[in-house]
């Protein structure tokens, strides 16, 4: 199994970000919408994928949200790897989570976003930023 980055393919904003990853961040990881992924084989649930992007390494635990993005970046070229290391620092990650949650709650309002990007009101991703 290859490293896998899983995102919400029903969200135009998320898909736009995934296309950026595929074009600009050279990684050996598979970048796939959760709707087309074998979630059981990846050890993920639909709820996890609705809440945040997911990183599934070949070995070790999965990660979500900004930690998953840091893991993806660390799997690529030198400049992106450095950005991933910075994002993985505990103080940076602590600040990144509230920002990630804000983006998740408002992705339907961001460039490329549509009404289909809105997260259901009962999703854990809708909780207020800490």
pLDDT tens track for 67-107: 999 999 999 999 999 999 999 999 999 999 999 999 888 88
Domain that holds residue 64: 4-113
Bigger pLDDT: 77 or 11?
77
Q: Is residue 89 part of a domain?
A: yes
Which residue in 121, 123, 83, 127 sits closest to 102, CA to CA?
127
Q: Is residue 104 part of a domain?
A: yes
In order of 22, 68, 73, 93, 101, the CA distances from 129 in angstroms are 29, 18, 24, 13, 6
Q: Is residue 29 part of a domain?
A: yes
Q: Is residue 50 part of a domain?
A: yes
Distance CA 47, CA 88 (A): 24
Q: What average pLDDT does range 121-129 have in this prediction?
A: 53
Enumerate residues 6+ apart whose C-beta is below 8 A from 38. none
Q: Is residue 122 part of a domain?
A: no
Q: Is residue 108 part of a domain?
A: yes
Domain total of the chain? 1
Q: Is residue 124 part of a domain?
A: no
As a whole-number percent, the residues of the chain with pLDDT over 90 amount to 70
pLDDT digits (tens, 9 = 90+) for 107-118: 877 777 666 666
């Amino acid at each position: 199994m290859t490293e896998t980055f899983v995102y919400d393919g029903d969200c135009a904003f998320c898909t736009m970000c995934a296309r950026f990853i595929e074009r600009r961040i050279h990684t050996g990881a598979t970048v796939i919408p959760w709707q087309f992924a074998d979630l059981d084989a990846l050890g993920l649930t639909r709820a996890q994928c609705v809440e945040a992007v997911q990183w599934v390494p070949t070995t070790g635990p999965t990660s979500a949200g900004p930690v998953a993005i840091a893991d993806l970046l660390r799997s690529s070229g030198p400049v992106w790897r450095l950005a991933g290391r910075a994002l993985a620092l505990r103080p940076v990650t602590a600040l990144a989570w509230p920002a990630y949650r804000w983006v998740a709650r408002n992705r339907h309002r961001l460039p490329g976003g549509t009404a289909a990007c809105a997260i259901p009101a009962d999703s854990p991703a809708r909780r207020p930023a800490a």
